[in-house]
Copies of this chain bind each other. A is one copy, B any other.
Amino acid sequence: MKNYTFGIDIGGTNIKMGLFKITRFELIEKIEIPTPNIDHATTIFDAVIHLANEFLDKHGITYDEILGFGFAIPCPVKHGYVDVCPNLHWRNIDVIQAMQNRVPDHVKVVVSNDANIAAYGENESLDIPHNNAIFYTLGTGVGGGIIVEGEIIEGRTGAGGEIGHMPIFETNEICGCGKSGCLEQVCGTKAILNQARRLIPYSQTILKSEHLKVKSIFDAAKHNDSVGLKVIDEMGKYIGLSASILAVSLDPDVIIIGGGIAQAGDILLNSIKKHYQQYARFNTINVPIVLAKTGNDAGIIGAARYSMKA
Contact = CB atoms under 8 A, between A and B. Distances in A.
A193 interface: no
A196 to B, nearest CB: 25
Contact of A177 (B158, B245, B281): B281
Interface in A246-293: 246, 248-253, 279-284, 287
A160 B244 CA distance: 13
Contact of A167 (B131, B158, B163, B279): B279
Contact of A159 (B157, B168, B282): B282
B248 A283 contact: no
A248 B157 contact: no
A179 B240 CA distance: 14
A178 interface: yes
Interface stretch (A26-34, A146-154, A227-235, A301-309): A146-154
Interface in A159-210: 159-163, 165-168, 177-179, 182
Contacts of A241: 167
A280 to B, nearest CB: 8
A162 B253 contact: no
A132 interface: yes
Contacts of A158: 251
Contacts of A211: none
B165 A281 contact: yes
A182 to B, nearest CB: 8
Given A167-B244, A167-B279, A251 B157 contact: yes
Contact of A151 (B149, B251, B282, B284): B149
A156 interface: yes
A155 interface: yes
A39 B149 CA distance: 34
A276 to B, nearest CB: 11
Contacts of A149: 151
A249 B248 contact: no
A162 B157 CA distance: 24
A128 to B, nearest CB: 13
Nearest to A168: B245
Nearest to A285: B179
Contacts of A168: 245
B159 A283 contact: yes
A179 B251 contact: no
A251 B282 contact: no
Given A148-B148, A155-B132, A249 B161 contact: yes
A149 to B, nearest CB: 7
* Those 8 A-B pairs whose CB atoms lie nearest each other, nearest first: A155-B251, A160-B251, A159-B251, A156-B253, A166-B245, A165-B281, A156-B251, A179-B281
6 contacts: A148-B155, A153-B250, A156-B252, A161-B251, A162-B282, A163-B248
